[in-house]
Structure 1
Amino acid sequence: MQIIKDGDIRAPTSPWRASIAAGLGTAIEYYDFQLYAVLAVTLSPLFFSTQDPNTALLSTLAIFAGAFVARPLGGVFFGLFGDRYGRTAALMLTVVGIGVASALIGLLPTYAVIGVAAPMLLLFLRLMQGFFAGGEITGAATYIAECSPPDRRGFFGAFNPAAATLGLTAATAVAGLTGVIFGSEATQEWAWRIPFLLSIPLIALCLWARFRIEDSPKFRQIMLEHKVVKAPLKTLFTEHRRAVLQVISIGFAQNAAGYVSIIYLNIHLTRTLGYDPVAVFWLISITTFIASLFMPFVGGLSDRFGRKPLLTIGFAGYIVLTPITFYAASLGSFAMCAAAVVLGILPFIIVQAVGYPLYAELFPTRVRYSGVSLGFNIATILGGGTAPYIAAWLTAASGHHLAPSAYVVVAAIIGLTTLVGLRETADRPLEN
């Protein structure tokens, strides 16, 4: 991390180094933030007194959704901070905040110990996670875009969603490994805390990496030229409303489809369809790990063929493949279920890999952090935080195992509709 002064002309951080350091924090963010959802079935009887398991699960998912309410607040705060004082300073704060909140969840007493205070404290820490997460992945996307050459922004930008997906992989893998090592009974009683407490060494690793990078050359340029915007939000609403709305619409589709096809699917396979939780944890972990490896390749394809064509293929893929995935999973064969999950991950790879580079390209440097953070975090409320809850409610209300896939189809259609009026951003210099 650096303090920029007049006459500072040091060489910028390489795109490889920037992508890895920024992506590492994103991986930790998604590990911390999604671990709660991965362990939702375990946490629900520990923090809620109701005897109805479905009601307890829905209450747990409601707190999961509640954390997304704080994300736009964090996005606005860290967007303003990052556009005023630098990307790296903001990214230091976000990773520490979300990691500390996650570790504290691992130390919480349960309902049996402190009663109603347990879910209240859980909600507070989830809101804290949401606040800091609101500035992390969007700040990382901004930073990577500003450190990458124009013809490779898709490739390097895809390191960010790849890292986020690795965070999901780590969350499911650690949860599964905890169950294997300690057994289901010990996991339910106390071992569930271990994955949350692992956030502490992960924070230290990320801070070590981020202290070794400098701010982006784009931000350093406007800082040295004294062109930093004092009121980024005002500039966004007066000059860049269309770009904000586009990020919200595409981000909604990306989040709704992604959270149902990955996060809720884990709950659906274990709780609704009755598959072995450990087997499902490893299936999701291996699938998402492989997916993360392909994302930079897909990002590179968007550098060559454009963001819009790739995103069109991705959203169309959700419409076709998600119903097939949920249907095949409901047949009762784990082998068939595994094949469906692998097939259904393809649209996720494309949309995640291409979406994040696109968001950063829609705004000028002066308000990029604020624009991406505001638009994307509103999208996470509309399409991300509510998605597992809506999917679980649709399943319970309809009694049909395919019900969640209908929600994904609607979200994907919204994404496709938004793409019609979107300008192509690939291989163009970023606007200052």
Structure 2
Amino acid sequence: MTPVTDERRRKAKKATAVAAFGTFIEYYDFSVYGYVAATLSIVFFPSDNPTVSLLNTFLVFGSAFVVRPLGALFFGRLGDRAGRRVSLVASIGLMSLAAALTGLLPGYATIGVGAPILLVILRMLQGFSTGGEIGGAASYIREWAPKDRRSLYISFIPGVGVLGKACAAGMAALAASLVPEDSMEAWGWRLPFLLAVPLGLLCLYLRLKIEDTPEFRDTDVTERTNRKPLKELMADHRGPLTKVMAISTVQNVGTYVGTVFVASYLSTVLDFSKGQAATIVLLAVLTAAVFIPLCGQLGSRLGGKRVLIVSYIAYIALTIPSFLLMGRGSVGLAIAGLVLGMVPYALCQAGTYTVMPEFFPVQVRNTGVAFGHSIGAVIGGGAGPYVSTWLIDATGSTLVPAYILVAFGLFGLALALGAVRRSSSADHLYT
């Protein structure tokens, strides 16, 4: 085991910064689609019924989640065999390329049905890339960070991920505010996607300059090259993998219903303008970006598992008041309501990312975290926006997203309390 020297701590901080920056770009590229979904529905799925157009747009959004487990297996295996650094370089390159090509894609009016087909393909490539990013970044930072700082360092993954979403929301808000509606549909929606080009090149350069983790380098070479991570994961780690899937499902419902879907919800359901909706989401997720490292610091003291329990309770208690405030018709109250909803979100993000890598040994950690998290993303993230849109239309209730978040908060709490009853110590909450 490599000793924790001052040089090691310096390298750990650099490694955390570079890995987290890549996650920022991944989440920016992946989230832009959700923040401009209302415009994309017109460009790629023209229809007399705007709800049908939006549902089709969210179906494409969800298609990215279907391939995330495949990306998790590919990049997880790459990271567990060739190194975390190699996996991180490959994932950011693919994501940036897919986002840039999306920004150049002709609309339905230009090439007809080919436009939505190409949109699906590019969206699936983004999902494939994202499937590998989380496992690689979480494993990389966990293996570099000093033990007493792991929760704090790992919390920068969701923290900068939120900043990536904030940047996506900001670009969407800027475009919607400065570009006329007809121009927004013609070319304005492309601008947030094309920003992926310089960001991706910068991150690719930085990731090529970092070292792999000491823990991975210290693992016997024959174990790395002769092993089949997925086979070993399924044979020896099914229990931990199932728990990671469940934890990830709750976290992804909170992410994609509570932050990405809500941008379209504010404009199409609550009748805010697209610019107002993007601004409301921007301010809320910027607040969350501050909350998450604070929750990570809390996790360093209390443990990520305890932070998760608090987050589930907060979802149950705060979500409905949050959506009631958003529904009052005031921009100020909508900001206050969504900021309130960021409290359980931040706690859940910090707790989830801290806990996931601890379930697996170094030999299968990248694959285990990536695959488990991606399955949770398929269930919680891929279906969340679509189901929310469909239920709102079917029931007429504007509180449907709140009910979904509360239901998954109850699921997470039941999972945690069940684990507590089977354990004599809260330190073994899930293991």
The offset of 1:238, in angstroms, is: 1.4
Q: Which residue of structure 1 lines up, in the alignment, with residue 406 of structure 2? A: 409
Aligned to 1:296: 293
Q: In the TM superposition, what whole-angstrom CA distance separates every residue of 1:29-57 from its partner, at most 9, and x where no partner exists?
A: 11111100110000001101322111000
Question: For 1:144-163, what aligned pairs fall within 5 Å after superposition?
Answer: 144-163=141-160
Q: Please state if 1:90 is matched with 2:87.
A: yes
Deviations 1:217-249 (A, max 9, x none): 110010457555611111111111111001100
Aligned CA RMSD, in angstroms, stands at: 1.8
Taking structure 1 as reference, are residues 425 and 372 closer, same or farther at Cα in structure 2, changes over 3 Å only? farther
Distance 2:136 2:32 in 1: 21
3-state secondary structure, aligned to 2:125: helix
> How has the CA–CA distance of structure 1 residues 268 and 226 changed in structure 2, closer, same or farther, with 3 Å as cutoff?
closer
What TM-score results when the alignment is normalised by the length of structure 2? 0.93
Q: Is contact 1:228–1:366 with CA below 8 Å preserved after alignment?
A: no
Offset at 1:181?
2.5
CA distance change for structure 1 residues 163 and 245 in 2, over 3 Å: closer, same or farther? same
**Residue equivalent to 1:6:** none
Q: Secondary structure at the match of 1:158?
A: helix
Contact 2:322 2:337 (C-alpha < 8 Å) held by counterparts: yes
Correspondence for 1:61 among 54, 58, 76: 58
Matches of 2:85 and 2:10, distance apart in 1: 11
Matched-pair contact (CA < 8 Å) for 2:304–2:350: no
- Secondary structure of 1:339's match? helix
Matched, 1:71 2:102: no
Instruction: Answer yes or no: is the 8 Å Cα contact 2:67–2:127 preserved in 1.
Output: yes
- Once residues 176 and 241 of structure 1 are traced to their aligned partners in structure 2, the CA distance between those partners, rounded to angstroms, is 43
User: Which one of the candidate residues 178, 184, 187 is aligned to 2:184?
Assistant: 187
Amino acid at match of 1:160: I
Q: Give the Cα–Cα distance (whole angstroms) in 1 for the partners of residues 176 and 163 of structure 2.
A: 20
Give the drift of 1:301: 1.0
Are residues 167 and 238 of structure 1, via their aligned partners in 2, closer, same or farther at CA, if it must alter by over 3 Å? same
Matched, 1:385 2:379: no
Q: CA deviation at 1:121?
A: 0.4
Q: Which residue of 1 aligns with 2:120?
A: 123
Q: 1:350 aligns with which of 347, 351, 363?
A: 347
**Match of 1:366, SS?**
coil
Aligned to 1:29: 26
Output the CA distance in 1 between the equivalents of 2:132 and 2:32: 19
Residue of structure 1 equivalent to 2:4: none
Equivalent residues of 2:165, 2:285 under 8 A apart: yes
SS of 1:214 mapped into structure 2: coil
Shift of residue 13 of structure 1?
6.6
User: Which one of 117, 124, 136 corresponds to residue 133 of structure 2?
Assistant: 136
Q: Secondary structure at the match of 1:131?
A: helix
1:147-296 alignment runs, 5 A limit: 147-224=144-221, 226=223, 230-296=227-293
Q: CA deviation digits over 1:4-28, x for unaligned, max 9?
A: xxxxxx9687221111100111111
> Offset of 1:257 from its aligned partner?
2.0
Residues 184-205 of structure 1: CA distance to partner in whole angstroms, max 9, x if unpaired?
Answer: 3311211111111110000111
Q: Does 1:314 align with 2:311?
A: yes
Shift of 1:418: 2.2
Identity %: 38
Secondary structure of the structure 1 residue equivalent to 2:179: helix
Task: State the distance in 2 between where 1:425 and 1:31 align.
Answer: 36
Q: Which is further off, 64-73 or 222-231?
A: 222-231
Residue number in structure 2 paired with 1:3: none
Alpha carbons of 1:66 and 1:291: their partners in 2 closer, same or farther (altered >3 Å)?
same
Query: Are residues 23 and 425 of structure 1, via their aligned partners in 2, closer, same or farther at CA, if it must alter by over 3 Å?
Result: farther
Deviation at 1:85, TM superposition (A): 0.4
Encode CA deviations 1:257-311: one digit per residue, 9 max, x unaligned: 2211111111111111101221221221122112112322211111111122211
CA distance in 2, matches of 1:107, 1:334: 33
Q: Is the 8 A contact 2:60 2:123 kept in 1?
A: yes
Tell me which residue corresponds to 2:39: 42
Contact 2:166–2:281 under 8 Å retained in 1: yes
Range that drifts further, 185-194 or 115-124: 185-194
- Structure 2 residue runs without a partner (length 5+): 1-6
Query: Contact 1:307 / 1:426 at 8 angstroms: preserved in 2?
Result: no
| CA drift at 1:208 | 2.1
Report the Cα distance in structure 1 between the residues aligned to 2:401 and 2:180, rounded to whole angstroms: 31
Q: In structure 2, how many angstroms separate the alpha carbons of the residues matched to 1:233 and 1:128?
A: 21
Tell me which residue corresponds to 1:325. 322
Deviation at 1:352, TM superposition (A): 0.6
Is residue 108 of structure 2 the alignment partner of residue 111 of structure 1? yes
Q: CA deviation at 1:419?
A: 2.1
Q: Is this contact kept in 2: 1:254–1:415, CA < 8 A?
A: no
Relative distance call for 1:388 and 1:60 in structure 2 (3 A) is: same
Runs of at least 4 residues off by over 4 Å: 10-13, 223-229, 422-427
Pairwise CA distance, 1:157: 0.4
* More deviation, 176-185/37-46: 176-185
- Residue identity matched to 1:198: L
Distance 2:405 2:287 in 1: 22
| TM-score normalized with structure 1 length | 0.93
